[in-house]
Amino acid sequence: MANDTVTIHNNATGEEFEFPLRRGTVGPAAADISSLYKEAGIFTYDPGFMSTASCNSAITYIDGEQGILRYRGYPIEQLATKASFLEVAYLLLYGELPKEQELDDFERVITRHTMLNENLKDFFQGFHHDAHPMAILVGVVGSLSAFYHDSLSVHDERHREISAHRLIAKVPTIAAAAYKHSIGEPIMYPRNDLRYCANFLRMMFATPCDDYEPELIAEKALNLLFILHADHEQNASTSTVRLAGSSGANPFACVAAGIASLWGPAHGGANEAVLDMLVEIGDVKEVRRFMEKAKDKDDPFRLMGFGHRVYKNYDPRAKIIREVCHQVLEEVADVNNPLFELAMELEEIALNDDYFVERKLYPNVDFYSGIIYRALGIPRNMFTVMFAVARTVGWVSHWMEMMSDPNNRIGRPRQIYCGPDQRDYLPISQR
Average pLDDT of the chain to the nearest whole number? 91
Judged by average pLDDT, the poorest of 229-233, 269-273, 370-374 is 269-273
pLDDT surpasses 60 at 99:
yes
pLDDT tens sequence across 206-228: 999 999 998 999 999 999 999 99
Judged by average pLDDT, the poorest of 1-10, 93-102, 392-401 is 1-10
Judged by average pLDDT, the poorest of 77-86, 156-165, 359-368 is 359-368
pLDDT surpasses 50 at 319:
yes
pLDDT surpasses 70 at 336:
no
pLDDT tens sequence across 59-79: 999 998 888 999 999 999 999
Q: Show which residues are catalytic.
A: 308, 366
Tell me what pLDDT residue 404 has.
Answer: 95
**Average pLDDT value for residue range 27-52:** 91
Tell me what pLDDT residue 307 has.
Answer: 79
Tell me what pLDDT residue 367 has.
Answer: 85
The pLDDT > 70 percentage for the chain reads: 99
Tell me what pLDDT residue 151 has.
Answer: 87
pLDDT tens sequence across 298-310: 999 988 888 777 7
Tell me what pLDDT residue 1 has.
Answer: 47
Residue 91 pLDDT grade (very low, low, confident, very high; cuts 50, 70, 90): very high
pLDDT tens sequence across 145-196: 999 988 889 999 999 999 999 999 999 999 999 999 999 999 999 999 999 9
Q: What is the 3-state secondary structure (H, E, C) of the chain?
A: CHHHEEEEECCCCCCEEEEEEECCCCCCCEECCCCHHHHHCCCCCCHHHCCCCCCCCCCEEEECCCCEEEECCEEHHHHHHHCCHHHHHHHHHHCCCCCHHHHHHHHHHHHHCCCCCHHHHHHHCCCCCCCCHHHHHHHHHHHHHHHCHHHCCCCCHHHHHHHHHHHHHHHHHHHHHHHHHHHCCCCCCCCCCCCHHHHHHHHHHCECCECCCCCHHHHHHHHHHHHHCCCCCCCHHHHHHHHHHCCCCCHHHHHHHHHHHHCCCCCCCHHHHHHHHHHHHCCHHHHHHHHHHHHCCCCCCCCCCECCCCCCCCCHHHHHHHHHHHHHHHHCCCCCCHHHHHHHHHHHHHHHCHHHHHCCCCECHHHHHHHHHHHCCCCHHHHHHHHHHHHHHHHHHHHHHHHCCCCCCCCCCCCCCCCCCCCCCCCHHHC
